[in-house]
Structures are given as structure tokens and as C-alpha cells.
Amino acid sequence: MANEPGDQLLAEDQGPAPLEERPPALPRRVAHMEIIISNILRYGVLLSFVVLTIGSVLLLLQPGTAVRPSGPPNPHDPGQVVAQAFQLQPKAIIDLGLMILIATPVFRVGVAAVVFLMESDYVYTLVSLFVFLVLMASFFLGHAGGG
């Protein structure tokens, strides 16, 4: 009973994989670029959270402000949002935080294209550029309101 086939299978699964079966370590440069790309996502989301929190706190601190799901339409000009955010208008600050949140993964795709180009990986460079161009086209050609 001590040497049943199931016991041997469990013993093999619990140990570390032999050296020749382990995946190869990433080259130092690739690992560095992956850290940069992950930091773009991490800090972009963190920045968006901070800006959204500031805008939300300012909105709630305004006297006589009622928070409603409806209201005036959002501005379509990022320059207008930034200008109003610098004037400390809470809704514009919240819009800026949302813009940062939306732009973060798009920026990551652009950086990935540059990284793939630096690594001479032209297939992934072209795929990343295509995705980046589709995302950018959707921003510039999209219409709000569906009208």
C-alpha cells in the first residue's frame, strides 16, 4: 500500500521543477521594459484616483450643490476641461480624472509599440501600432450622444 501509483504522482507534483524544465529568465532589458509598462498602468490609475478624489471632495464641499445623475453635457474639448480644472471647478476635475483613467491604457499601448520596436520585434510593433491607431481614431472620430 505504501508504493501505490497515486502516491508517486503526488510526490512528483510537490517538488520544484528540474532546472531544464523551468522557463528561461527574461533578458534584463525586457524585464526592465515590463516594469516600466506596469508602472505606467499603476501610476496612471493612482493619479486618476487622486484627481477623482480631489474633484469629488471639492464637489461635496460646495455649498448648495446637489449631486444629480443628470446635468449639463460634458465638454468635448480636453483643453476646456483642463482650463476649468485649473479654475478648481469640481466637475472639470472629475472629468480630468476620468480622462486620465481612459488615457492610461492607451498610453501603455503606445509605449509597448516603442518597446517592441526597440527590441526589433516588428510583428508586435505593427500590431501595437494598429491597436494604438484604432484607439486614437475612436477618440477623434467618435460622436457623443449617438445622434
Q: Which of 127, 107, 118 is nearest to 27 (CA)?
A: 118
pLDDT of residue 22: 58
Here the cell at position 67 is 449631486
SS (H, E, C) 96-141: HHHHHHHHHHHHHHHHHHHHHHHCCCHHHHHHHHHHHHHHHHHHHH
The one-letter amino acid at 54: I
- pLDDT tens for 66-122 read 655 555 666 667 888 888 889 988 888 999 999 999 999 999 999 889 888 888 889
Whether residue 145 is predicted with pLDDT greater than 60 in this model: the reply is no
pLDDT of residue 63: 78
Whether residue 53 is predicted with pLDDT greater than 70 in this model: the reply is yes
Whether residue 146 is predicted with pLDDT greater than 50 in this model: the reply is no
d(CA 45, CA 97): 9
pTM of the predicted structure, to 2 decimals = 0.68
Here the cell at position 146 is 449617438
Whether residue 52 is predicted with pLDDT greater than 80 in this model: the reply is yes
Which of residues 28 and 121 earns the better pLDDT score? 121
pLDDT of residue 147: 43
pLDDT of residue 25: 60
The domains of the chain are located at 30-61+77-146
Dihedral sign, Cα of residue 24, residue 27, residue 30, residue 35: positive
Q: What is the mean pLDDT of the chain?
A: 79
**Burial of residue 90 (number of CB atoms within 10 Å: 0-12, 13-18, 19+):** buried
Whether residue 130 is predicted with pLDDT greater than 50 in this model: the reply is yes
- The stretch 9-29 carries a mean pLDDT of 58
